[in-house]
Amino acid sequence: MNNELIVTSSPHVRSQDSVKKIMWSVVIALLPAVFAAVYFFKARALSVILAAVVGAVLIEYIFQKIRNKKNTIKDGSAVVTGLLLALTLPPSIPLWTAFFGSIVAIGLGKQVFGGIGQNPFNPALVGRAFLTASYPVLMTTWTVDGVSSATPLSQMKMEGIATDTWNLFVGQIGGSLGETSAIALLLGFSYLLYKGYVNWRIPLAMVGTVFLGTFAFGSDPIFHLFAGGLMLGALFMATDMVSSPTTKLGRWIFGLGAGLLVVIIRL
């Protein structure tokens, strides 16, 4: 025996999970959606994503430095926020806007509350809400390669045109970067589910509510499942650990409430 014996309180073994592992797994889980975005929107998507991620990481670094706290870049949570925000943005958004959105997301959405774990809302959503309020036009221009295309949801709402469900599921539709391919999102989500890093109750309750709700009001429920940001919102936003409930019942209720909101907004 070389050193003094270590004395700490029980338990003396811990699971292999860490915040870092969880956050980087979320990053991995978002990669299919990122690839889908790049596939459909080409280099444009990549630049928007990079702008948002760099903004998020940079501001996280600066804030932690100012507050004299440990550098938390490596825990991956800023990357997650940057990615999530980027996936809610339209591909045509100016890069500085994406960058700025991330700064607001981390700055206002997370750091002002004291950093990781303290935020009452999902930081990415704070960023998105801010951008929508400040730059409504930029945020709702869904142009790809100069050709403006309405999103399936607005087509449905305004003109009653339903997009082919298969297209919605696989991708190739107008909308934000992350909305394009439901299958990419589901793929990433299954990875998290497999790792045990995500609650399935919230998304199930939310998606189920939207399905039943839209069906009850005579709309095509399948269409609503795969259209718009529902998948992204249900699978990756509503399940944000920090801002969602910890009890099982709480998660059902939370998912139900979120689903109802979607139904009300859409119909």
Partner 1 sequence: MKALTFKQGIHPEYNKELTKDKPLKNAKRPEEVIIPLKQHIGAPLKVLVKKGDQVDLGQKIADSDSFVCAPIHASVSGTVKEIRKVTDPGGNIVDAVVIESAEEDRLNSGLEKHDSLDKLDAAEIRNIIREAGIVGMGGAMFPTHVKVSIPDDKSVDYVILNGAECEPYLTVDYRVMVEKPKSIVFGLKALMKAAGASTGFIGIEENKPEAIESMQDAVNDEANIEVKILETKYPQGGEKMLIEAILGREVPAGGLPLDVGVVVNNTSTAAAVADAIRDGKPLYERSISITGRGINSPQNLIYRIGINIGDLVEEAGGLKDNAAKVITGGPMMGVAQKNLNIPGVKGTSGILVLVEDEVEEYEPSPCINCAKCVDACPMFLMPTQLANYAKNDMVDELEEWQVLSCVECGSCSFVCPAKIPLVHHLRLGKSQVMAKKREKN
Angle between helices 248-266 and 201-216 (to 10 degrees): 30
Q: Is 143 helix (H, G, I), strand (E, B) or coil?
A: strand
Shortest reach from residue 120's CB to partner 1, in Å: 10
Q: Which is nearer to partner 1, 1 or 137 (CB)?
A: 1
Q: Which is nearer to partner 1, 2 or 68 (CB)?
A: 2
Q: Which is nearer to partner 1, 245 or 257 (CB)?
A: 245
From residue 132, give the alpha-carbon distance in Å to each of 41, 112, 138: 21, 21, 8
- The residues, any chain, with a CB within 8 Å of residue 129's CB and separated by 6 or more, are none
The greatest distance separating any two alpha carbons of the chain, rounded to the nearest whole angstrom, comes to 78
Helix residue ranges, H only, the chain: 19-66, 77-88, 95-109, 123-134, 136-139, 152-154, 165-170, 182-195, 201-216, 221-226, 230-232, 248-266
Q: Which is nearer to partner 1, 68 or 246 (CB)?
A: 246
Shortest reach from residue 256's CB to partner 1, in Å: 17
- The residues, any chain, with a CB within 8 Å of residue 35's CB and separated by 6 or more, are 184
Shortest reach from residue 175's CB to partner 1, in Å: 30
Shortest reach from residue 103's CB to partner 1, in Å: 21
Binding-site ranges for partner 1 (CB under 8 A): 1-3, 5-15, 17-19, 21-22, 75, 114-118, 197, 199, 241-248
Shortest reach from residue 126's CB to partner 1, in Å: 16
Q: Which is nearer to partner 1, 40 or 252 (CB)?
A: 252
Q: Which is nearer to partner 1, 148 or 247 (CB)?
A: 247
Residue with tokens 């295309």: 149
Shortest reach from residue 59's CB to partner 1, in Å: 18
**Listed residue (146, 168, 52, 147) closest to 106, CA to CA:** 52
